[in-house]
Amino acid sequence: GENVEQHPSTLSVQEGDSAVIKCTYSDSASNYFPWYKQELGKGPQLIIDIRSNVGEKKDQRIAVTLNKTAKHFSLHITETQPEDSAVYFCAASDSGGYQKVTFGTGTKLQVIP
Amino acid sequence: DTGVSQDPRHKITKRGQNVTFRCDPISEHNRLYWYRQTLGQGPEFLTYFQNEAQLEKSRLLSDRFSAERPKGSFSTLEIQRTEQGDSAMYLCASSTPPGTQNTEAFFGQGTRLTVV
């Protein structure tokens, strides 16, 4: 089955700096890669996703890159704000859409004002 | 609120008791998923439904776990003879079927189970 590894497990940045979270996956059949933000006491919330037919996608301060050859994908948050503080999860699926998704272990991001 | 709704939000039970959780998906979503999340970990897939049909179950779903979605709307997850290792957050999510433009899954806020 799919295995998703995520690094780092914790990340502290100064407000305004950029944050980068990296993930690798094992199943070359995976073709859908969502990223989730989870705040304390809440369920995960989708913030951005990317499919295997594109290499990069951007939405305001958030961008995701995908390298299918290396089986790497990354989340980039620019101009970080205190409200970006949360746990971020990467995930992978081989269905082309949301089906059985395998999550990474999470990155706790702290943005220091 | 038209999001995914889970009930109860918190449940404390004694070891050996049975518990049941409910999930109400977004109304137009015909796919429904259950995940389990332990502290410091990502959610782990348990099972999913398309309408009333349970299409896949993880090996994490032992014989003590059963999920149903009898009318293709709400779903229940029952754990029989609970064990301390069952303590976790149980998350429900729903999505539209593949082939539609946006197939993202929306999660509920979860049910936190504590077995004492």
Question: pLDDT digit string (tens) for B74-96?
Answer: 999 999 999 999 999 999 999 88
Please give the mean pLDDT across all residues of chain B: 91
Q: How far B10 CA sits from the closest chain A CA (Å)?
A: 11
Per-residue pLDDT at B103: 67
Q: How far A56 CA sits from the closest chain B CA (Å)?
A: 18
As a whole number of angstroms, the distance between CA A66 and CA A50 comes to 8
Beta bridge partners of B53: B50
User: Does residue A46 sit at the B interface (CB-CB below 8 Å)?
Assistant: yes
As a whole number of angstroms, the distance between CA A43 and CA B110 comes to 6
> For A43, which of B45, B95, B108 is closest by C-beta distance?
B108
Residue A71 φ/ψ, nearest 5 degrees:
60, 45
Chains A, B: CB contacts within 8 A come to 56
Contact check, Cβ <8 Å, B104/A98: yes
Per-residue pLDDT at A93: 87
- Alpha-helical (H) ranges within A26-94 are none
The strand pair at A107-112 and A10-14 is best described as parallel
Contact check, Cβ <8 Å, B105/A96: no
Q: Has residue B97 got a pLDDT over 80? A: no
Q: How far A70 CA sits from the closest chain B CA (Å)?
A: 23
Provide the token pair at B116. 């004492």
Per-residue pLDDT at B40: 87
Q: Where is pLDDT greater, at A99 or B114?
A: B114
Q: pLDDT tens, A26-69? A: 999 898 899 999 998 889 999 999 988 889 999 999 999 999 99
